[in-house]
Amino acid sequence: MNRSPNFGARRDGLRPELVVLHYTAMESSAAAQRALCDPAREVSAHYLVSESGEVLPLVDEDMRAWHAGAGEWAGRGDVNSRSIGIELANTGDAPFAARQMAALMALLPGILDRWSIPPQGVIAHSDMAPGRKIDPGPRFDWHRLARAGLSVWPAPRDGAGLPADERRFRRDAEAFGYPRDLPLDLLLATVRLRFRPRHAGPLDSQDMSVMADLAARFAAHEGLTPRRERP
């Protein structure tokens, strides 16, 4: 089967305002395609990008695919109704192939254009489901996507180091879109997974500057569509 039967209508008239990137955590693209098209699995994505850069459309973009699960972004749940899901075939511990990245970077501009999604709307599964999901993981090259205008990357100014301050870090992270009321350790690990993937240790001034810059330039509540449209 080439298309997935695992989808429904987007709820409450919601439209895509996010693109959620995943890795499949399976041994091959073919195995992932079988799983994403298996009615018994009840999972899917709009696109699967193979290791060799083949883009397989599995669910129409205007439909609600089943990739995000429980979680939220910018204070809004039902991410499946609000997003396009893209699965990258990857075992979870291997680099992403150059041809696969090139295919993703060729796929994204059309999606962002069709649905008027800003670059800050391209997020990781781990961003919206902290503690539950870690994909697309520390090997994914977010900086490269951002340089092409297909996601965002922090650019803290030199000398802008801020003292470690849990309340401010949390406020900035939530303004950017991260879920509210996470334990600090989990929030910090989630932010670093995407923006400082090889960093460990307690909250530091670089974490502060990264999050302050992202919050200042890309506060989620400005770029995304309202929570609910008035009838």
Contact set with Zn ion (CB under 5 A): 22, 125, 135
Contact criterion met (CB below 8 Å) for 105 and 151: no
Closer to Zn ion by CB, 76 or 125: give it.
125
The residue at minimum Cβ distance from Zn ion is 22
Calpha distance 169→178 (Å, rounded)? 11
If the CB atoms of residues 87 and 174 are measured against Zn ion, the closer one turns out to be: 87
Smallest separation, CB 87 to Zn ion (Å): 7
Q: How far is the CB of 55 from Zn ion (least distance, A)?
A: 17
Q: What is the spatial distance between Cα 113 and Cα 108, in angstroms, rounded to a whole number?
A: 9
The nearest distance, CB 99 to Zn ion, in angstroms, is: 21
Beta bridge mates, 22 = 87
Nearer to Zn ion, 72 or 135 (CB): 135
Cβ distance to Zn ion smaller for residue 22 or 170: 22
What's the closest the beta carbon of residue 130 comes to Zn ion, in angstroms?
13
User: Shortest gap between Cβ of 77 and Zn ion (angstroms)?
Assistant: 16
CA distances in angstroms from 229 to 13, 15, 117, listed in the order given:
9, 11, 17
And the tokens for 77?
């749940």
The pair of structure tokens assigned to 165 is 């301050």
Min CB(36)–Zn ion separation in Å? 11
DSSP state of 149: T
In the block, residue with structure tokens 């680099």: 95
Of 134 and 152, the one with the shorter C-beta distance to Zn ion is: 134
Q: What is the distance between the alpha carbons of residues 81 and 50, in angstroms, rounded to a whole number? A: 24
Nearer to Zn ion, 190 or 209 (CB): 190
Q: Residue 121: which of 142, 95, 150 has the closest Cα?
A: 150
